[in-house]
Amino acid sequence: MYKLVAIDIDDTLLTDDHRITEGTKEALKRASERGVLVTLATGRMHASAKDIAAQLGMNVPLISYQGALVRNLQDDSILYERNLSRPIAESIFAYAAEHGLHLQAYYDDQLIVPVDNDKVRAYAKLSAIPYTVDPDFAKYAALPMTKLLIIDEPDVLDEHIPVLKQQLGAEAHITKSKPNFLEFMHPEGTKGNALRFLAEHHCGCTLAETIGIGDSWNDLDLVELAGLGVAMGNAVDPLKLVADIVTLTNNEEGVRHIVETYILQA
């Protein structure tokens, strides 16, 4: 029944110690051998997602940057791309500077920051990607931004979210991938929109024939739109509320359980 499976990476596919279990790898391999398109749907950069895909032997289009980019692994061609508009990027840059917030910019699959600090070092370590420090940071607001990210304590971000949503309106998609990661994309740069694109233009299937698996706020429209929307056992409560199924946690092979139950045993 299911022809496309889109899986979040952090706290979903990966365990807390950042591993993909051998059982999960085997289940995903068997699903692919049955003709199911198994892909990743992550907030990470494409370069970072490629490293995870390599561990799974994937050679498919990947959804990265929360859905703002779908890029083919076979020839690196871009299938779907939605960048923030220049006025919106400039507004976010100005807001972050005014309030002393740590802002990260993503341009041409590169991570750029104005200063080297603990926040970007921890982020780069988690994502296993390099970054560029450029004191002339403001110039990047004029370039096509795939994503912008503010890192701070959850309560600090929660104070700024209502203000930013009012300021940016419908011209930006604002979400959290982790409690301390506040992310900004084009309104159509979401995992759900990318899933719809892959279903229609790559798989030739309906959304009813898709599975979306995630754990966080940025997975909401992925899980809502998929034919089978799955929240991990460790997912945030808002995601569990919209999911069709709540599976096991990321440390209990929740992804493997869903693939075996709904694809391999179907």
Domains delineated in the chain? 4-81+189-264 (3.40.50.1000), 86-185 (3.30.1240.10)
> What pLDDT does 79 receive?
97
For residue 178 the two structure tokens come to: 């982790």
What's the pLDDT band for 266 if we cut at 50, 70, 90? confident
Instruction: Indicate the SS3 state at residue 246.
Output: strand
> What pLDDT does 239 receive?
98
What's the pLDDT band for 39 if we cut at 50, 70, 90? very high
Render pLDDT for 190-200 as a digit per residue (tens, 0 to 9).
999 999 999 99
Interval 101-125 mean pLDDT:
97
Helices (H) and strands (E) in the chain, counts: 9, 14
For 166, residues 6+ apart whose C-beta sits below 8 A from its C-beta are none
Render pLDDT for 54-106 as a digit per residue (tens, 0 to 9).
999 999 999 999 999 999 998 899 999 999 999 999 999 999 999 999 999 99
Distance CA 100, CA 120 (A): 15
What's the pLDDT band for 15 if we cut at 50, 70, 90? very high
> What pLDDT does 246 receive?
98
The question of whether 108 is a catalytic residue gets the answer no
- Percent of the chain residues past pLDDT 70, beyond the cut: 100
What is the pLDDT of the chain when averaged over all its residues? 96
Distance CA 130, CA 10 (A): 18
For residue 102 the two structure tokens come to: 């740590």
Distance CA 232, CA 226 (A): 15
What's the pLDDT band for 220 if we cut at 50, 70, 90? very high
For 97, residues 6+ apart whose C-beta sits below 8 A from its C-beta are 103, 138
pLDDT at 139 over 90: yes
pLDDT at 23 over 80: yes
> What pLDDT does 41 receive?
98
pTM of the model: 0.94
